[in-house]
Amino acid sequence: MPQGWCWASVVQCASYEKFAITDGPFGSNLKTEHYTDDGPRVIRLQNIGDGVFVEEDAHISVHHFTVLQRHEVKHGDVVVAMLGEMLPRACLVPSHIPPAIVKADCVKVTSNCSLVLSRFMVVALNSHPTRSRASAKIAGVGRPRLNLEKFRPLAIPLPPLAEQEQIVAEVERRISIAQESESQIEANLKRSSRLCQSILKRAFEGKLVPQDPNDEPASVLLNRLRNGYTRATKKTTRRNAKT
């Protein structure tokens, strides 16, 4: 682990807001007959590519969206596929997506922007080392599944924010070059995936960008945020007790 980096679980990287980590509704709450021709979007497994949001529309009524609003996703949230190959498989919700919810076997994570960039979280979750660690938590042979209970404590490597920005920018730059240089989409995606893993390997070894000893270690920031949240929780508890 490079100097200034630390390990952080998915739940530690999430915002403190309510339902910052949530999965989709199950059972009769969202069935085929609930789909409509227009209205709020439903983000399903087929929308979540390997770092890429795949356009495929599904809609529900505004009324049903209101009923299922605890499963809401917004622009900039991380959505994660929990069923199928290459788990976890994550991408960002793009800015053009209107109000939406996640479906079953999909998870939404709203990141704590003071600690981790959403774009870096996608990169880290899709990396080979993270998928290797997650493999022990995956159940099912024909239909591999990672459940929310085991996903929340999954650890990702966390550099300082400035270095996260550099890593993401470099990953996106090199993948963009690869995409421009390939004429066939399938070949392009395979090459981009291999290139991304190579870049991530160098990043997690501290070899991709210069290490700045003046950067605040991620562990220090994580502890400060955790302590601040604990103090705020205690104050709220005392106020509630008085009333």
Q: In CATH, what number is assigned to the domain containing residue 152?
A: 3.90.220.20
The ranges of the chain with pLDDT < 70 are 179, 181-187, 232-243
Secondary structure of residue 113 in the 3-state scheme: coil
Quickly count: other Cβ atoms within 10 Å of residue 87's Cβ: 21
> Is the distance from CB of 39 to CB of 65 less than 8 angstroms?
yes
| pLDDT for 199 | 82
Tell me the pTM.
0.78
| pLDDT for 236 | 64
Assess if residue 179 is contained within a domain: yes
Give me the number of domains the chain comprises.
Answer: 1
Assess if residue 143 is contained within a domain: yes
Secondary structure of residue 43 in the 3-state scheme: strand
| pLDDT for 194 | 80
Assess if residue 164 is contained within a domain: yes
**Spatial separation of the C-alpha atoms in residues 127 and 197, rounded to whole Å:** 6
pLDDT in tens, 36-65: 999 999 999 999 999 999 999 999 999 999
Assess if residue 236 is contained within a domain: no
| pLDDT for 157 | 94
| pLDDT for 204 | 80
| pLDDT for 183 | 58
Give the C-alpha distances (Å, rounded to integers) separating 199 from 12, 75, 190.
Answer: 25, 26, 14
Given CA atoms 39, 45, 47, 51 in this order, what sign does their dihedral have? Answer: positive
Does an H or E element contain 34, and which?
Answer: none
DSSP 14: B
Does an H or E element contain 210, and which?
Answer: none
Assess if residue 243 is contained within a domain: no
| pLDDT for 35 | 93
**Spatial separation of the C-alpha atoms in residues 219 and 158, rounded to whole Å:** 8
Assess if residue 56 is contained within a domain: yes
Secondary structure of residue 37 in the 3-state scheme: strand
| pLDDT for 197 | 82
| pLDDT for 237 | 62
**Spatial separation of the C-alpha atoms in residues 92 and 111, rounded to whole Å:** 11
Burial class (CB in 10 A: 0-12, 13-18, 19+), 67: middle
Assess if residue 53 is contained within a domain: yes
Domain with 58, as residue range(s), is: 6-218
Assess if residue 239 is contained within a domain: no
Secondary structure of residue 179 in the 3-state scheme: helix
